Chains A and B, each alone.
Chain A
Amino acid sequence: MRPDKRAVRIGIGGPVGSGKTALVAALCRALATELRLAVVTNDIYTTEDADFLRRAGVLPDDRIRAVETGCCPHTAIRDDISANLDAVEELEERLGALDLILVESGGDNLTATFSKGLVDHQIFVVDVAGGDKVPRKGGPGVTTADLLVINKTDLAPLVGADLGVMARDAQARRGDLPTVFLSLVGEPGAAPVADWVRDRVAEPASTPRHHEPTPAHTHGP
C-alpha cells in the first residue's frame, strides 16, 4: 500500500438501465492491461453486476467486490459510505498497490451523486432511450458530474431522441464540464471515456489522496 498515493477512485452512477455496468466492462477491457485496477459494484442485487463482469471475462474474480446497500443505493454512495470504503480498502490491502478503483453505483435516479469522501471523480451515465429531455431536467448527477456520458446513441433514431437537443441542454446545465456521446455498439472499448479516465489517473491529485484513517487501534491489549 502506498501511504501517500492511493489508487484514483472514480464513481460511475446513473439511472437503472443506462449502461453503467456495460461501461465498467468496456473500461476494464480497455484499461486492464495498462492499469492495476479493481471494481466495487453496488447493484441492489448483490452479485448480479459482479457476475456480469466475471462472465464478460474482463477482470479476475478477486478484483471485483460487491456491496449490499439495504434498498438504498444512494445512501451507500453518498450519506453512509462506510461499506464502500471498507470494500475499497480491502481490495487495496489484498491486491497491493492499485492505480484505479471504479465504484459502480446501483441504478438510482437523477439526484444520486457520490460523496467526495468516497471518490475523487464521478461519471454520470444517462441513455438516449431514457428520453432526450433528461439533460434539461438536470439534477445533481447531470449538472455536477465530472463527466456526463450520454449512452446508447445508436438507439437515437429508434426512440426519436434528438442528440443535438441533448448536447445543447447538457452544455447549458454543465457549463465547461465535459459531456461524451457514446455507443458501445459502435465503440466497444468506450474510447472517449477510457481516455478521460487515463487523464484522471495520470494527473497529479489537486489535493493529496491520503488514505482514510482506518479505525484506529490506539492501545493493544
Chain B
Amino acid sequence: MSLSTLLVLADGRLPAGAHAHSGGVEAAVAAGRIHDLPTLESFLVGRTSTSGTAAAAFAAASCRALTTRPVPHARSGDIEAAPLDRARLTALDNGARSAARVESLTDHRGALRDDSVRPAERITALDDGIDARTASPALRAASRAQGRALLRAVARIWPAAVNPAGPNPHHPIATGIAAAAAGLGPREAALTAVYGGLTGAASAAVRLLGLDPYTVHALIARLAPECDRVAADAAARADDPVDDLPAGSAILLDLDAERHATWEVRLFAS
C-alpha cells in the first residue's frame, strides 16, 4: 500500500466536487445547532459515528469486492491489495466463480477471494444498501452527485479503473472503486470515506462561521484516532453481508437535508 497514493485520494484538493458539499453543516448552522467550536465538535462526533461509520463500511466493502484478498508482501511483509483487472472481473462475472473458489483454496498468494457473489452484483447490492440506509431523497441525490464527481476524477487519474457501478453510484461506493483503482485496500477506502466526511464538514464550518482554522484543525487532529478506529472496524467487516453492515443515521441530518434542498438561497449543494 502506498501512503502517498492514500494522500492523493484523501486530499481535500482532489477535484471531486467535495468543496461544494457541507455534510449537513450549512443547514445545522442555519438552525443554530452549530455556532461555535463545542457545537461543531458534537456535530462532527455524531456525524462520524453515524453516517461516517456507514460510509466507511460501504467504502471498505466496495473496495474489497474489487480487490484480491490481502496477502503478505514477499519482501517487506507489508500487506498489499491488488486491484482486479478487467479480465479477471469479467471472468468472475461470466460464471467462473467455482474456478475462482478453487484458486482461492489452492493458492492464497494473490488468489481471488472465495466469493459467493460476483463483484458487480456485490457492488449493486452495496449501492442498494446505501439507498436503504438513507431516508432523505436529498441526501441520496447528494451522495450520488459526489459519487459521480469522484468517478469523473478517477477516470482521468487512474484510467484503468474498474467500475461496475454505472456513472452515478453512491459516494462510498465510488470511494471503494477509487481506492481499488489506486491500488489501495479496504481500510484505506474506509479511511478516505470517514476522514473526507469529517474534514469536508469541518471546512464548511470554517467558511460559514469564520471559526479559527487552527482550533478547527486541532479538533480534526483530536478526532483522527477515531477515524483510524472506524476504518479498521470497516475493513474487518468488508466481507459481511450487506444487511449486517452498519446502518447508522442521524434523523436531524435527514430532516435538515430535506429542508436545505428547498432553500431559495444556499451556498452548498448539500
Contacts and interface: CB of A to CB of B under 8 A. Distances in A.
Interface stretch (A42-50, A162-170, A174-182): A42-50
Contact of B17 (A44, A82, A220): A82
Interface of A: 44-48, 67-72, 75-76, 79-83, 85-86, 212-221
21 contacts: A48-B265, A70-B268, A71-B267, A71-B268, A72-B207, A76-B19, A80-B19, A80-B20, A81-B15, A83-B145, A86-B145, A214-B155, A216-B167, A218-B161, A218-B162, A219-B90, A219-B93, A220-B120, A221-B120, A221-B124, A221-B164
Nearest to B156: A213
Contact of B265 (A46, A71, A80): A46
B259 to A, nearest CB: 15
Nearest to A221: B120
Contacts of B204: 70-71
Given A82-B152, A213-B155, A221 B123 contact: yes
Contacts of B133: none
Interface string B123-152: 110000000000000000000010011011
Contact of A76 (B20, B123, B156): B20
A72 to B, nearest CB: 6
Nearest to A81: B15
A47 B261 CA distance: 12
A45 B126 CA distance: 35
Interface string B49-86: 00000000000000000000000000000000000001
Nearest to A212: B152
Contacts of A214: 152, 155, 167
A83 B17 contact: yes
A212 B155 CA distance: 10
A82 B149 contact: yes
Contact of B167 (A44, A68, A217, A221): A217
Contacts, number: 113
A219 B15 CA distance: 24
Could you say which of B21, B148, B152, B268 has the most chain A C-beta atoms within 10 Å of its C-beta?
A: B152
Interface in B1-44: 13-22
A70 B15 contact: no
Interface string B204-226: 10011000000000000000000
Contact of B264 (A47, A215, A216, A220): A47
B19 A215 contact: no
B199 interface: no
Given A70-B207, A83-B149, A219 B164 contact: yes
Contact of B155 (A71, A75, A86, A215): A215
Residue from B15, B21, B121, B155 whose CB has the most chain A CB atoms within 10 Å: B15
B111 interface: no
B247 interface: no
B269 interface: yes
A213 B124 CA distance: 22
Contacts of B152: 82, 85-86, 212, 214-215
A76 to B, nearest CB: 7
B95 to A, nearest CB: 14
Given A213-B155, A219-B164, A79 B13 contact: yes
A68 B268 CA distance: 5
B19 A216 contact: no
A75 B156 CA distance: 19
A75 B165 CA distance: 28
B266 interface: yes
A219 B149 contact: no
A48 B267 CA distance: 12
Contacts of B267: 44-46, 68-71
A221 B15 CA distance: 28
